Structure 1
């Protein structure tokens, strides 16, 4: 499979979803502002998404995809893989139903514990979370069917599915623009509708691929036991990360009104390159690495990771640097207006400029982690995650009191790099992956190109300074100038400096040969 083509397919369709997400956030900032009702909704939206990452990304990225891919390579591959999927679904679905029902019952105390809200704000946050929480059940099933399609190298439906959630929420904002509790309720209902649409799309895509799963009676078959042995440590590891997300929520809700909103809007910009680059690469390389490891081809598995790391840094470095330098004009142009004022924009931009400093590390984690998952080693990432969680908690307590939301953003950026470094060191010591000379050389040249781009961005900001304080039209024009100017400097500089293989880029444009050589 062509890594660039697969990543481009996933990343391109993810970009569609991210653009829809930006439209959603731009409209939401103007309709909801940084009000306490907006904070309550973001808590309600964050909780099921946190558990989604626990079950979906934890269970299926770590366990299901490698095991499904390995069964596909067998003598009766498609039959074995389908039976395995049905066995897992038979156990997974009842577990999700029970989990959802339990949390619906205990939602009030749980939201209070996480948020510290009281009175009307607690009541609204609890109600909204009860409405949004079934999304967890729907999106976890989406993760299962996405894993099947990704293992079959059918990435389109799974990559596009998140756009349906954004479109559902956009619809709620367009038709219920009054703000406050009414719009927050409409958004919560739209979350569930988006989940139904996503599941419907994935079921249809699986049917077109000839995959129709039957519901069976739950049984602990050998395949399910193997799945559980792999998934439990991975889920615990993902659970550690999600505990970190809960801790972030805990601190954000106590920083003051608006902090949840500031972080949400900043993270939306941060998630654009993360989703388009990091998630796309992680999704594309896991089946390949698993296949090479299963075929006892460690050199080829390491090569795939090296190519992914080069591509990640080629695209992620300029994104991170540009977001850090241009945070204020970007946030002002995209979100400021209506109920979202200049001070809200300033605090959001401050948060963004700090949190994106950890973006390259977070993307590289998506490249490094498959090196463990493909070998069914989910315990090591758990141990690293526990250490990183402890470091996050310590840094939050140290940095948030004096610096507020900027301290929380700093803790996230620092621990992202710590996580990346620890994963790499262990892979290197085990001989599974190391930074070869060709990769180090290209990354250094990418950094030089990035420095030239930063200088150009500062120059554009100085020349067009007045534009970023003017009308919405002028602000948007200024952003276009920044984005266009940055790209016009970075990519030619990378090309001239040799920051990537020119022949490989030519082959991508001409679509003549796959991205496989690493001269």
Structure 2
């Protein structure tokens, strides 16, 4: 399978997950609106989700996958199995201890880290503590699932680990539907959602554990022992704990500040859910595929292939990300209105959410480019350099959030997150260039420039069509408004595709080869 094919495999599975995520968020908006229970749920879910992304998808994944891939490349499946079993035993004991401590001290954590602004509302504070305790085992399950996914990705099985993430949304949608049908109050629905998160984690881990076993990779329990290889992984994880979760750390900092403004957490989460669609589909696909492939190439000493992988990843990322970015900057209001404006979510909520979406969108290309540049360090087992850059990024985010919040409110938090992501990207790219680890080829540079030009053309067209089509239909009813928005988005996407092909911003030969394979 080609690199683009692997991206498409992971991206397609992630698209299903993000699509169900939209359904989930739309149901939450309709059932509970941007109210106190919604604030409490998002604040509670952010905490275990933060650790999941920092630890499981961040530090653990970036440290485990390169080492596991090199064991497979150098020592074969048996050496890789011994390494995985040693890691599993240490991981399981650590997760049980950490989860128990976190659940015991949860009131302190909510008061100081998760949502300090909730102290003035005792009912919201207690509900947040309860929900966070219910959901926290999700972290342990997701960390174990990340290990199973890392094993499968290293063995070039990408689809199922990406697809199984849809189960979170399936469980949450089922809980929401049950609560709405039975007429539960908002608090009860929120608690049901917390239990759905917990059970979905158990189920996701179970599915991948069975899949790994069916692949013939049977992991046995061992007494926890810090072998030299496990110690090496832990050493790599320390800086990666900061690097891998910089976006989530930024979001948690923003949430703490946003808890001072009523409904701000809800506005930011509704906006971030839209922003996460292209980020998840493209960024996750690139990150999941590129790291093990790059690790294998460097282990084999194939530096030309490593350069090729990074060039194609850069082109693919910008090709898919820039038009989405421009679209969300030009049409944030219509997009939010189409997706959320029903039930308890009113037109009064659309404006603040759209403003946050536009601010988040400025950083979307940076979020995706992080997935392109960071593997260039991780695959070489250099975790420290990205760590320092991530720390600088977090400092920039905190400083800008505090400075701008009194003037811009919740919009300041989204904007600060975007700016800090660009700071991180510039530092990473400049260092790779300086070390000669990655310098985009002239062909890649030219294609990237044409992608930018095509995106600008699309943006101008989308703005003009929005004024001509969406604005006149805004007060004509839901059906006509939806038609106007969808036609505008569809025609703008068509303009972009035509422009990017005519300007040679995309590899035409790759398109032809893909079409021939599909016909065959």
Cα distance in 2 for partners of 1:152, 1:437 equals 33
- Asked whether 1:94 is paired with 2:93, we answer yes
- Asked whether 1:414 is paired with 2:419, we answer yes
8 Å Cα contact 1:150/1:283 also seen in 2: yes
SS of the residue 1:104 aligns to: helix
8 Å Cα contact 1:131/1:188 also seen in 2: yes
Length, aligned pairs only? 511
| Cα drift, residue 411 of structure 1 | 0.6
Matches within 5 A, 1:102-251: 102-114=101-113, 115-116=115-116, 117-118=118-119, 119-177=122-180, 178-238=184-244, 241-251=247-257
- Asked whether 1:481 is paired with 2:487, we answer yes
8 Å Cα contact 2:213/2:219 also seen in 1: no
| Cα drift, residue 481 of structure 1 | 0.9
In the TM superposition, what whole-angstrom CA distance separates every residue of 1:26-54 from its partner, at most 9, and x where no partner exists? 11100010001100000111100000012
C-alpha spacing 1:314/1:93, structure 2 compared with 1 (3 Å): same
Cα distance in 2 for partners of 1:240, 1:496 equals 38
Cα distance in 2 for partners of 1:205, 1:468 equals 49
Query: Which ranges of 4 or more aligned residues in structure 1 deviate by more than 6 Å?
Result: none
- Asked whether 1:345 is paired with 2:344, we answer no
Moved more, 111-120 or 28-37: 111-120
Cα distance in 2 for partners of 1:217, 1:473 equals 62
| Cα drift, residue 239 of structure 1 | 5.5
- Asked whether 1:329 is paired with 2:329, we answer no
SS of the residue 1:511 aligns to: helix
Cα distance in 2 for partners of 1:456, 1:100 equals 51
Cα distance in 2 for partners of 1:458, 1:33 equals 29
Cα distance in 2 for partners of 1:470, 1:351 equals 26
In the TM superposition, what whole-angstrom CA distance separates every residue of 1:373-399 from its partner, at most 9, and x where no partner exists? 000000111110111111111111111
8 Å Cα contact 1:333/1:476 also seen in 2: yes
C-alpha spacing 1:313/1:236, structure 2 compared with 1 (3 Å): closer
C-alpha spacing 1:180/1:445, structure 2 compared with 1 (3 Å): same
| Cα drift, residue 413 of structure 1 | 1.1
SS of the residue 1:369 aligns to: helix
Cα distance in 1 for partners of 2:487, 2:148 equals 41
8 Å Cα contact 1:372/1:378 also seen in 2: yes
| Match among 254, 257, 282 for residue 277 of structure 1 | 282
Q: Which residue of 1 aligns with 2:6?
A: 6
Cα distance in 1 for partners of 2:506, 2:427 equals 26
Q: Which residue of 2 aligns with 1:433?
A: 438
Cα distance in 1 for partners of 2:207, 2:484 equals 38
Cα distance in 1 for partners of 2:36, 2:62 equals 37
- Asked whether 1:472 is paired with 2:478, we answer yes
Cα distance in 2 for partners of 1:468, 1:423 equals 43
| Match among 404, 418, 421 for residue 399 of structure 1 | 404
Cα distance in 2 for partners of 1:302, 1:211 equals 31
Where do 5+ consecutive residues of structure 1 fail to align? 514-519
| Cα drift, residue 406 of structure 1 | 1.3
Cα distance in 2 for partners of 1:472, 1:167 equals 27
SS of the residue 1:73 aligns to: helix
Cα distance in 2 for partners of 1:243, 1:442 equals 33
| Cα drift, residue 242 of structure 1 | 4.2
Q: Which residue of 1 aligns with 2:454?
A: 449
TM, length-normalised to structure 2: 0.96
| Cα drift, residue 512 of structure 1 | 8.1
| Cα drift, residue 299 of structure 1 | 2.6
Where do 5+ consecutive residues of structure 2 fail to align? none
Cα distance in 2 for partners of 1:341, 1:138 equals 36
In the TM superposition, what whole-angstrom CA distance separates every residue of 1:122-174 from its partner, at most 9, and x where no partner exists? 01110111111110011111101000000011011111111000000000111
Q: Which residue of 2 aligns with 1:517?
A: none
In the TM superposition, what whole-angstrom CA distance separates every residue of 1:287-307 from its partner, at most 9, and x where no partner exists? 111011112222321221111
Q: What root-mean-square deviation, in Å, do the aligned CA atoms of Structure 1 and Structure 2 show?
A: 1.4
Cα distance in 2 for partners of 1:24, 1:240 equals 25
| Cα drift, residue 473 of structure 1 | 2.3
TM, length-normalised to structure 1: 0.96
